[in-house]
Chain A
Amino acid sequence: MTAPAPPPVRRRRLAGAGVMIRRRLLVAVPVLAATSMGMFALGAASPIDPAQQYAGAAAFTTSEENLDQLRANWGVDDPLPVQYARWVGNLLRGDLGWSTSRHEPVTSVLAARAGWTLLLVGLALALVLVASVLLGTLAAYRRGGWFDRALRSFAYAVQSMPVFWLGLAAIAVFALTLGWLPAGGLTDLTATGTDPADVARHLVLPVTVLAISQAPWFVLFVRDAVAESLRDDHVLAARARGLPGRTVLFGHALRTALLPFLTLVGTHLPELVGGAVLVETVFSLPGLGAVTVAAALGADFPLLAATTLATTVVVLAANLATDLGYAAADPRVRLDD
Chain B
Amino acid sequence: MTDLAPPPAAPPARRLPPRRPAILLRGGRAGVGTAAAVLVVAVLACLLAPLLWPLDQSAVDLARTRLAPSPEHLAGTDDLGRDVALRSLYGLRVSLLVGVVAALVATVIGGLVGAVAGSVGGRVDRVLMRVVDTVAALPHLLLGIFIVAMLRPSLGAVVASIALTHWLSTARIVRSELLSLRSRPFVDAAISGGASRARVLTRHLLPHVLPRLALATTLMVPHAVWHETALSFLGLGLPPHLASIGNMINDGQRSLLTGAWWASIVPGLALVAVTLALAVLTGRWRDRLDPRVRAELHL
CB contacts (< 8 Å) of B272 on chain A: these are 157, 160-162, 165
CB contacts (< 8 Å) of A295 on chain B: these are 149
Give the shortest distance, in Å, between A326 (CB) and chain B (any CB).
17
Q: Which of A57-65, A83-91, A309-317 contacts B (4 or more CB under 8 A)?
A: A309-317
Contact between A299 and B297, CB atoms less than 8 A apart? no
Quick check: is B261 within 8 A (CB to CB) of the other chain?
yes
Quick check: is B4 within 8 A (CB to CB) of the other chain?
no
CB contacts (< 8 Å) of B276 on chain A: these are 156-157, 160
Write the chain A residue with the least CB distance to B26: A152
- With the chains together, A176 CA to B257 CA distance in Å? 7
Quick check: is A16 within 8 A (CB to CB) of the other chain?
no
Task: Check A157/B25 contact, CB under 8 A, given A42-B146, A165-B249.
Answer: yes
Contact between B141 and A274, CB atoms less than 8 A apart? yes
- With the chains together, A115 CA to B131 CA distance in Å? 30
CB contacts (< 8 Å) of B259 on chain A: these are 176
B256 touches which of A168, A304, A308, A319 (Cβ 8 Å): A168
Q: Which of B54-62, B194-202, B206-214, B233-241 contacts A (4 or more CB under 8 A)?
A: B233-241
Quick check: is B84 within 8 A (CB to CB) of the other chain?
no
Contact between B24 and A312, CB atoms less than 8 A apart? no
Contact between A31 and B268, CB atoms less than 8 A apart? no
Quick check: is A66 within 8 A (CB to CB) of the other chain?
no
CB contacts (< 8 Å) of B234 on chain A: these are 277-278, 281, 293, 296
CB contacts (< 8 Å) of B142 on chain A: these are 273-274, 277, 292, 307-308, 311
Write the chain A residue with the least CB distance to B229: A162
Quick check: is B139 within 8 A (CB to CB) of the other chain?
yes
CB contacts (< 8 Å) of B139 on chain A: these are 269-271, 273-274, 308, 311-312, 315
CB contacts (< 8 Å) of B257 on chain A: these are 176, 183
> Taking each of A168, A282, A307, which has the highest tally of chain B beta carbons within 10 Å of its own beta carbon?
A168
Task: Check A274/B140 contact, CB under 8 A, given A168-B252, A224-B297.
Answer: yes
Quick check: is A144 within 8 A (CB to CB) of the other chain?
yes
CB contacts (< 8 Å) of A43 on chain B: these are 150
Contact between B256 and A35, CB atoms less than 8 A apart? no
CB contacts (< 8 Å) of B229 on chain A: these are 162
Number of interface residues of B (CB under 8 A): 53
| Chain B contact surface mostly | helix
CB contacts (< 8 Å) of B256 on chain A: these are 168, 171-172, 176
- With the chains together, A187 CA to B161 CA distance in Å? 35
- With the chains together, A25 CA to B137 CA distance in Å? 14
- With the chains together, A42 CA to B143 CA distance in Å? 11
- With the chains together, A301 CA to B252 CA distance in Å? 30
A270 touches which of B140, B152, B275, B280 (Cβ 8 Å): B140
Task: Check A319/B137 contact, CB under 8 A, given A47-B152, A164-B233.
Answer: yes
- With the chains together, A58 CA to B238 CA distance in Å? 28
Give the shortest distance, in Å, between A323 (CB) and chain B (any CB).
13
Quick check: is A110 within 8 A (CB to CB) of the other chain?
no
Task: Check A297/B137 contact, CB under 8 A, given A157-B25, A160-B299.
Answer: no
Quick check: is B5 within 8 A (CB to CB) of the other chain?
no
CB contacts (< 8 Å) of A273 on chain B: these are 139, 141-142
30 contacts between A and B (CB under 8 A): A34-B134, A157-B25, A160-B299, A162-B226, A162-B230, A162-B249, A162-B271, A162-B272, A165-B265, A165-B272, A169-B268, A217-B297, A220-B296, A220-B297, A224-B294, A224-B296, A270-B137, A270-B139, A273-B142, A274-B141, A274-B230, A278-B230, A281-B233, A293-B235, A296-B148, A304-B150, A311-B138, A311-B139, A311-B142, A312-B139
A-contacting residues of B (Cβ < 8 Å)? Answer: 20, 23-26, 130-131, 133-134, 136-143, 145-152, 222, 226, 229-230, 233-236, 249, 252-253, 256-257, 259, 261, 264-265, 268, 271-272, 275-276, 279-280, 294, 296-297, 299
The 9 closest A-B pairs by CB, nearest first: A274-B141, A165-B268, A296-B149, A270-B139, A160-B276, A46-B150, A273-B139, A156-B25, A172-B261
B-contacting residues of A (Cβ < 8 Å)? Answer: 30-31, 34-35, 39, 42-43, 45-48, 144, 149, 152-153, 156-157, 159-162, 164-165, 168-169, 171-172, 176, 183, 217, 220-221, 224, 267, 269-271, 273-275, 277-278, 281-282, 292-293, 295-297, 299-301, 304-305, 307-308, 311-312, 315-316, 319
